[in-house]
């Protein structure tokens, strides 16, 4: 049987190695595991190869705003199942993961056996949700609309958007990405059109709809 190929995206080295150990024990030594410590690293792995069996994605990753990493993955690579892993275990967070297209949610406090069982379920084409997941408020219409817009962005447009939301000017973004200012302007225009916004502030507010805990 072909080995499973799994991407582990988490910015905590200790947790990544604990996951490595758990999955090697649970799935056997032939499982192929690759780690990513940021959304940019994750994108590089996906650009190089798009037939991963599973992505395990930490909710709070450098380069993402809450669920924006999940939304980007589902938009660009809909064929790859994504399971969220987080220390935020509230029912509302689990529900938002489901609504934004994840195939499962594993609380970081889960015992090893639960983690292994959850991953096996999803690799078998099923989903896996913790027992709590039935409660919690549904995702707002605004967040759903934001999610649809973000899912249509390319990875490069997504990077530009996160930099815009961090307050960087076009000139600074061009320097960071090693592209011309004109290219950045073209990206910003395309992003605003796809998101249905007119200003950088509106774009930032829309990205905040992806935060893990909805604003009350």
pLDDT tens per residue across span 163-195: 888 888 999 999 988 899 999 999 999 989 888
pLDDT for the residue numbered 36: 92
Structure tokens at 82: 């994504």
Confidence band (pLDDT; 50, 70, 90) for 147? Answer: confident
pLDDT for the residue numbered 122: 93
Does the structure show a pLDDT above 70 at 214?
no
Structure tokens at 83: 């399971």
- Please give the Cα distance from 103 to 121 (Å, whole number): 10
**Do you know the residue count of the chain?**
216
Would you say domain 141-208 falls under CATH 3.40.640.10?
A: no
Alpha-carbon distances of 134 from 19, 93, 94, 120, rounded to whole Å: 26, 11, 9, 22
Does the structure show a pLDDT above 70 at 133?
no
pLDDT for the residue numbered 81: 94
Does the structure show a pLDDT above 60 at 212?
no
Phi and psi of 95, rounded to 5°? -65, -40
Structure tokens at 43: 């994108």
Residue 123: Cβ-neighbour burial (10 angstroms; 0-12, 13-18, 19+): middle
CB 102 within 8 A of CB 129: no
pLDDT tens per residue across span 7-29: 999 988 888 888 888 888 888 87
Domain with CATH 1.10.10.10 in the chain: 141-208
- Please give the Cα distance from 214 to 208 (Å, whole number): 9
Residue found by looking up tokens 């689990």 in the block? 94
Domain with CATH 3.40.50.2300 in the chain: 5-134
Mean of pLDDT over the chain:
84
pLDDT tens per residue across span 80-125: 999 999 888 888 888 888 888 899 999 888 888 888 889 999 999 9
pLDDT for the residue numbered 148: 78
Confidence band (pLDDT; 50, 70, 90) for 135? Answer: low
Residues of the chain with pLDDT > 70: what percent?
92
Rg (CA), the chain: 17
Q: What mean pLDDT comes out for the span 23-46? A: 87
Q: What is the DSSP string of 66-131?
A: TTHHHHHHHHH-TTS-EEEEES---HHHHHHHHHTT-SEEEETT--HHHHHHHHHHHHTT--B--G
pLDDT for the residue numbered 184: 92
Question: Of the candidates 132, 150, 135, which has an alpha carbon nearest to the alpha carbon of residue 205?
Answer: 150
pLDDT tens per residue across span 62-77: 777 778 888 888 888 8
DSSP SS3 for 62: coil
Confidence band (pLDDT; 50, 70, 90) for 126? Answer: very high
Structure tokens at 124: 């078998």
What superfamily would CATH give domain 5-134? Response regulator (3.40.50.2300)
């Amino acid at each position: 049987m072909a080995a499973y190929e799994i991407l582990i995206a988490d910015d905590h080295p200790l947790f990544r190695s604990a996951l490595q150990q758990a999955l090697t024990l649970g799935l056997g030594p032939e499982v192929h595991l690759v780690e990513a410590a940021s959304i940019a690293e994750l994108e590089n792995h996906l650009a190089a190869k798009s037939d991963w069996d599973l992505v395990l994605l930490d909710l709070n990753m450098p380069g993402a705003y809450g669920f924006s990493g999940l939304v980007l993955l589902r938009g660009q690579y809909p064929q790859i199942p994504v399971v969220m892993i987080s220390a935020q275990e509230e029912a509302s967070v689990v529900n938002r993961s489901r609504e934004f297209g994840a195939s499962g949610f594993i609380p970081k406090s889960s015992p090893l056996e639960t983690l292994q069982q959850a991953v096996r379920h999803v690799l078998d084409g099923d989903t896996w949700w913790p027992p709590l997941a039935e409660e919690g408020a549904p995702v707002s219409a605004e967040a759903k609309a934001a999610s649809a817009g973000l899912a249509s962005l390319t990875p490069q447009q997504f990077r530009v958007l996160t930099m815009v939301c961090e307050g960087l000017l076009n000139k600074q973004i061009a320097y960071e990405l090693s592209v011309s200012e004109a290219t950045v302007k073209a990206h910003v225009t395309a992003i605003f059109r796809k998101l249905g916004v007119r200003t950088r502030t509106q774009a930032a507010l829309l990205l905040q709809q992806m935060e893990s805990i909805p604003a009350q």
